[in-house]
Amino acid sequence: MTSRLHINRNHLIHQLRLMLRIRRFEEKCAELYTQEKIRGFLHLYIGEEAVAVGVMSALTGEDQVVATYREHGHALARGLTMGSVLAEMYGRTTGCSRGRGGSMHLFDKALQFYGGNAIVGGGLPLAAGLAMANKKMQRSAITACFFGEGAVAEGEFHESLNLAALWQLPVLFICENNRYAMGTALTLSESETNIAKKAESYGITATQVDGMNVVDVEAAALEAAAYIHKEQRPYFLECQTYRFRGHSSFDSQLYRSKEEIEQWEEKGPVRQLIQWLRNNSHFQDSELDTIEKEIEQEIIAAMHFAEEGEWESVDDLYRDVYSAK
């Protein structure tokens, strides 16, 4: 197989813009959360942007995406607007899930984005089901399923991988291995810390990639998609990444040191790509300033859109709610 990734200046700057959009959007979300404009739970993707951007760049519009509850980055990279995502977090009817899902349940059928899932590992069987439907209906689409390494401890992980291999389903499993799950180091929860090796035990082709390098992620995802289309079998991609913020907004992060976080920040995906562009004379600081200003204006517009959205009418609270008597 050969990758169809063509590295050029414009593409790299495009990837940088996508990662910066996610980074700045989530930084603003953290600020809005402290102001209680966003309520409930908030799980930030800061530090892992290269995974979402790299993988989404390898997918087509007909491919389906199943995300985790840390899915703001996946949603933006897939094409959901900032306004629809932020309005959802505000609980407004103009949100992508009409304000009923919040931060953990973003959804957009038109973009084949089948949302986040508040249950750890809960998206894995859904992805297997979507992939089975594609196979039965003889559609060329593949299903991309994101999950953290914490999901490896769940039964759904093993059941889904087993069935995907057994039934030869066109599904791309993407493990975002950030090493700590909710707050327990991988070495303390798994006797085998090589997640790709676990996938191989089910007869699934698997590979590990530097999840902090968007170019490496995109190249690996392109290879994976090409394999799935050609072989009509599942593929497993383990992305070695690291979240710079805590598991959620209530995480005191006592399980890791500030020095460790700083070391990972030095090789963060945004910083790493900017440094490469500068070192290779492909980038001017004025270009970065322009991108930052454009993103800032986009965020401001998204905030206006969210704040101007309507609350759901009390009369509609039972709409689309199933009740068994």
Residues 72-84: tens digit of each pLDDT = 999 999 999 999 9
Q: How many independent structural domains does the chain possess?
A: 1
pLDDT above 90 covers what percent of the chain?
Answer: 85
* Residues facing 66 on adjacent strands: 145
Please report, in angstroms and rounded to a whole number, the separation of the first and last CA atoms in the chain.
55
221 in a structural domain: yes
CA 247 to chain centre: 14
pLDDT of residue 7: 75
Residues 312-322: tens digit of each pLDDT = 998 888 888 88
125: CATH: 3.40.50.970
Residue 1 has pLDDT above 70, yes or no: no
- pTM of structure: 0.94
8 in a structural domain: no
CA distance 225 to 228: 5
Residues 16-51: tens digit of each pLDDT = 999 999 999 999 999 999 999 999 899 999 999 999
236 in a structural domain: yes
Q: Pick the residue with more confidence: 93 or 248?
A: 93
Q: State the average pLDDT for the chain.
A: 94
Residues 210-250: tens digit of each pLDDT = 999 999 999 999 999 999 999 999 999 999 999 999 898 88
34 in a structural domain: yes
249 in a structural domain: yes
Residues 142-190: tens digit of each pLDDT = 999 999 999 999 999 999 999 999 999 999 999 999 999 989 999 899 9
Contact 234, 164 (CB under 8 A): yes
Of 108, 119, 118, nearest in space to 65 by CA? 108
176: domain range? 24-66+120-282
5 in a structural domain: no
Calculate the alpha carbon distances from 84 to 26, 72, 160, 242 in Å: 14, 11, 31, 27
pLDDT of residue 317: 82
97 in a structural domain: no
308 in a structural domain: no
